[in-house]
Amino acid sequence: MYSDQTETLTKKRIPLITLVGQPNSGKTTIFNFLSGKNFKTVNYPGSTVEYYVSRILSKHAVDANILDSPGIISLVPSSPDERLSVKALHSHPEYGAPDLVIVTVDSSQLSRHLLLVRQLQDSGFNVVVALTMIDILHRKGFDISETKLSQLLGCKVVRINGKTGEGIDNLLGAVKEGITSEQAGRRLIETRTPNSKRKEKLLESYREIESIENEVLFTLKSAKDDSRSSLASINEQLIVLGNNVRNRPDENTLRLDKILLHKFWGLAVFALIMSVTFTLIFWLAAPLMDLVNDGFSIASEFAFQALGDTWYGNLVSNGIISGVGSVMVFLPQILILFLILGLLEDSGYLARGAMLVDKPLSAIGLNGKSFVPMLSGFACAIPAIMATRTISNKRERFLTIFIVPLMSCSARLPVYALLTAFLFPPEDTLMGGIAMTAIYLFSIASSLVIASIANRLSKSISNLNDPSSFILELPAYRKPKLSVVGANSFNNAMQYVRKAGPVILYLSVILWVLTYFPNHTPQIDGAGRSEEEIVELTNSERIATSYASYMGKFLEPVLEPIGMDWRVGVSLVATLAAREVFVSSLALMFKVTEAGDDIQNSLLDAMRNAKIEGTGMKLFTTATSIGLIVFFVFALQCISTIAIVRKETGSWTIPALQLIAFTGLAYFLTYITVNGLRFIGVN
C-alpha cells in the first residue's frame, strides 16, 4: 500500500501536459512526436473514452508526462463520453489538473476550433495553441500569422507540420516556458466553464472569433485565381454554414465526396469496398494461415514424439498445442480485417460511411452516430458497446447496445472460416469471399430488422424520447500513414490474442479433461488391426465414455431437431466463454490432430466423415453447416458481452432480454434453415 501511494505522489509531482482538441485536429500526431509512441485515438464519433499517457522523450529535455485525451468540441458536453472527458480535463482521477494544456487547432477551420481555446482560457487553464493542417489551408490559397494570433489570444501559438514534425522544437520551447510559469503551479479549485448555452454569450464569442480570423488569415500570393474560382463555383452548389471560402473543404475533397456521398453511387462504392474487404481477408490471409497451421502442427508432433502416448503427452500435444492452434490459425484473417479498417479510417472514408448510413438508420430509430459502434462490433462487441457513450439520446444508445451483439465480431470469424471452408474448397477464395460477404451482409440486415422491431416496441413501452441529433465533421481525405496503421493493426490483433488466448488455453485444458477421462486407457482388441486403426478406436471409445459425452447427451434431445448431436452440443456450451473456442472444441471432440497432422485439414476431414451415432447419417452437411452459421449470427454466446451490457445500461433488463431473445431466435431460425433446406433436397 505504501509503495502504491509513493508512486502516485511521484506522478503528481511530475508536470502534466494534456493534449486537447476537436476530433481530426492532429492531437495524437503531436503526442506520438513527443512520446516516441505509435498510439492513435480514433478520429470519428463512437470512439471509446481512452487516455494515452507517456513520459516525454528524454532527448526533448522536458521532464513531464503528456496525456492524449479523446476529442471534444467544447467544454459543454453533450454525451456521456464528452462529460467524462471534460471532467477528467479539470481533474484527472490519477494525475489531477494539467500544468499546461496544448490545444490543437485546425488552421483550415479556424472559426470552429477557436471556441474551445476561448473556453479553456476562460476556465483558467494555462494554454498553448498548436496550429495544424497548414497544408490544407495552403491548398485553399491562404496562410496564417501565428504571431498575430498569439497577440490576439494572449497565449503562445506554434504551427506544426504533422507529416514532417516541423515546429515540434518550437512547441517544446513553448512547453518549457509554460510549465515553469506562475500559472502552471496553480491548480484549478473551481472550474469556470462558460455558460455557452446562453445565446448572447455564444454569439459574442463567435463575433470575436470571426474578427480574429479576419486579422490572422491572409491570401497566398502564389495561389492561382482560376483555382480559387473553380473552388468557389463548386462551393456554390453545396449547402454550407457561412460564406467564408476559407472554412470550406478543398477541391479534391469536394470532387471525391460528389461520388462517395452520392445517394446511389455512394452506397454502391460502400458495398464494393465491403466486398473487397472480405475477399482480401481470404486471399491475403491464405499463405499466412498455412504458415501458422504448419507451425502448430510441427509443435504438436514434436510434443507427441517427445512425451509419448501418455496422459501428459496427450495433454500437451492435443489439449494445449492443437487446441490453441486450431483458433490461432485464423489470426492472420483478424489482423488483415483490422488493417483494412485502419486504412479506411485514416483515409477519412469511415466518417463518410457514417453519413451514408445516417438516413437508413434514422428509419429504424437510430442515426449516423450508431454506425461506428456497429462497425466496431465487427472487431469486438465489448469496445463497441462502450463506444455508444457518444450517443446523447438515451433511447438510441440503448437500442444500439441492444443490436451490437448481432454484428459478426472477430471471434465469430474462425467459426465462419471453418464452416465456409467446409462448404467450399479452400482454394476457391472467390466463393469463400462471396460467402463471407453474404454472412456479414446478412448479419447487418438482420440487426437492422431487429432494431426496427425493438424501436417500435421501445416507443410503446418507454418514455425515453430525448431529442435526437446527428452532427458530424467530415475530415479531409488523407494518405494513410502505413507505419501507424500497421502498428495499430498489430496492437489490436495482439489485444485479441491476449484477450482470447488465456480463455482458449483454459478451456482447451478443461475440454481435454472432459474428453480424456474417466476412461483414459480403454482396452481395445488389436488383433488384425493396424496401429492407425487401434489409435482411432481408442480415441472413439475414450470420447464415447467421457464426461463430455455425459454432458452432451443430456443436451442431445434439444439438438436432434436441428440435425446436431452431443459433440456439437459440448462445443456450443464451450462458446459461452468465447465463440472462437467452438473450433478448438470440435478439434478436441474429434481428436483430429494425432501425431501432429495438419490441423485445419484434419478437422475438415473429420467433419466430412463424422456421423450421428445410431443413425449412420452424416453430422455435417450443407444444411447443418448453413444452420450453424445462422445460429452463430444470432446467438449471444459471450459472457463478457453480457457483463459489459449490464455495466453500461445499469441493469440486468437488456442483457437478460438479449440472452433469451437472441438465443431463442438463433435456435428457431436454425431449425427453420436446416429443415427447410432438407425439405427442398439440399443435404
SS (H, E, C) 400-412: HHHHHHHCCCCCC
Task: Judge whether residue 419 has pLDDT over 80.
Answer: yes
Angstrom distances, CA of residue 604 to CA of 58, 303, 326: 54, 23, 11
Specify if 62 maps to a domain: yes
Q: What angle do CA 655, 569, 576 make, to 5 degrees?
A: 30
Angstrom distances, CA of residue 406 to CA of 367, 450, 524, 631, 638: 17, 9, 47, 11, 12
Strands (E), 386-433: none
Note the pLDDT of residue 655.
86
- By C-alpha distance, which of 332, 325, 328, 327 is closest to 281? 332
Task: Judge whether residue 369 has pLDDT over 80.
Answer: no
Instruction: List phi, psi (to 5°) of 104.
Output: -85, 130
Angstrom distances, CA of residue 78 to CA of 22, 41, 280, 390, 402: 14, 20, 39, 8, 22
Tens digits of residue pLDDT in 211-254: 888 888 888 765 444 444 444 443 444 333 334 544 555 667 77
The three cell numbers of residue 593 are 490432430
CA distance 158 to 682: 68
Same structural domain for residues 520 and 459? Answer: no
Note the pLDDT of residue 436.
83
Question: pLDDT band at 193, cuts 50/70/90?
Answer: very low
Between these two residues, 29 and 629, which has the higher pLDDT value? 629
Angstrom distances, CA of residue 217 to CA of 144, 203, 368, 380, 649: 5, 21, 34, 44, 47
- Half-sphere CA count of 567, side-chain side, radius 13 A: 22
Same structural domain for residues 453 and 507? Answer: no
> Exposed (0-12), middle (13-18) or buried (19+): which is 479, by Cβ within 10 Å?
exposed
Same structural domain for residues 294 and 158? Answer: no
CA distance 559 to 548: 15
- By C-alpha distance, which of 461, 561, 429, 573 is closest to 510? 573
The three cell numbers of residue 305 are 514424439
CA distance 542 to 536: 10
Between these two residues, 76 and 663, which has the higher pLDDT value? 663
DSSP bridge pairs for 49 = none
- Residue ending a domain, among 248, 283, 303, is 248
Specify if 654 maps to a domain: yes
Same structural domain for residues 544 and 609? Answer: yes
Same structural domain for residues 455 and 568? Answer: no
Contacts 24+ apart (CB under 8 A), 424-427: 426/286, 426/600
Task: Judge whether residue 676 has pLDDT over 90.
Answer: yes
- By C-alpha distance, which of 496, 578, 534, 507 is closest to 319? 507
Specify if 477 maps to a domain: no
Q: Which residue has the cell 485553399?
A: 140
Same structural domain for residues 437 and 516? Answer: no
The three cell numbers of residue 431 are 466463393
Contact 412, 632 (CB under 8 A): yes
| End-to-end alpha carbon distance in the chain | 64
Q: Is 430 left (phi over 0), alpha (psi -120 to 50) or beta?
A: alpha
Contact 436, 337 (CB under 8 A): no
Same structural domain for residues 505 and 602? Answer: yes
CA distance 680 to 660: 30
CA distance 564 to 559: 5
What's the chain's average pLDDT? Answer: 75
* 423 three-class SS: helix
SS3 content of the chain, % helix, strand, coil (to 5): 65, 5, 30
> Exposed (0-12), middle (13-18) or buried (19+): which is 520, by Cβ within 10 Å?
middle
Tens digits of residue pLDDT in 444-470: 888 888 888 888 887 665 555 555 555
Specify if 473 maps to a domain: no
CATH value at residue 36: 3.40.50.300
Task: Judge whether residue 592 has pLDDT over 80.
Answer: no
- Residue ending a domain, among 219, 248, 277, is 248
The three cell numbers of residue 416 are 465462419
Note the pLDDT of residue 253.
72
Note the pLDDT of residue 42.
43
Q: Which residue has the cell 481512452?
A: 50
Same structural domain for residues 293 and 384? Answer: yes
Instruction: Kindly state the average pLDDT of the residues 245-270.
Output: 73
Contact 445, 417 (CB under 8 A): no
Amino acid symbol at 501: G
> Per mean pLDDT, which of 65-74, 84-93, 155-164, 368-377 is the most reliable?
155-164
Note the pLDDT of residue 473.
62
Domain that holds residue 300: 265-467
Angle between helices 199-216 and 110-122 (to 10 degrees): 120
Specify if 259 maps to a domain: no
- By C-alpha distance, which of 411, 317, 392, 451 is closest to 45? 392
- Residue ending a domain, among 418, 450, 467, is 467
Strands 217-219 and 142-144: antiparallel
Specify if 257 maps to a domain: no
Same structural domain for residues 352 and 409? Answer: yes
Note the pLDDT of residue 25.
81
Specify if 255 maps to a domain: no
* 16 three-class SS: strand
Q: Which residue has the cell 463512437?
A: 46
> Per mean pLDDT, which of 245-254, 266-275, 318-327, 353-362 is the most reliable?
266-275
Report cis status (omega within 30 of 0) of the bond before 655. Answer: no
Note the pLDDT of residue 228.
43
Contact 542, 520 (CB under 8 A): yes
* 102 three-class SS: strand
CA 654 to chain centre: 22
Same structural domain for residues 442 and 567? Answer: no
Task: Judge whether residue 558 has pLDDT over 70.
Answer: yes
* 211 three-class SS: helix
Note the pLDDT of residue 182.
60
Task: Judge whether residue 472 has pLDDT over 90.
Answer: no
Note the pLDDT of residue 677.
92
Note the pLDDT of residue 582.
81
- By C-alpha distance, which of 253, 266, 261 is closest to 109? 253
Specify if 493 maps to a domain: no
Burial 32-61 (b: 16+ CB within 10 A, else e): bbbbebbbbbbbbbbbbbebbbbebeeebe
Tens digits of residue pLDDT in 140-171: 778 888 888 888 888 999 998 877 788 888 88
CA distance 202 to 187: 27
Q: Which residue has the cell 492452434?
A: 325
Amino acid symbol at 654: I
Same structural domain for residues 308 and 204? Answer: no
> Per mean pLDDT, which of 345-359, 407-421, 455-469, 654-668 is the most reliable?
654-668
Same structural domain for residues 521 and 443? Answer: no
Task: Judge whether residue 310 has pLDDT over 90.
Answer: no
Total tally of structural domains belonging to the chain = 3
Task: Judge whether residue 493 has pLDDT over 70.
Answer: yes
Instruction: List phi, psi (to 5°) of 241.
Output: -85, 125
Q: Determine which helix (DSSP H) or strand (DSSP E) holds 69, and give its type and residue range.
A: none
The three cell numbers of residue 415 are 467459426
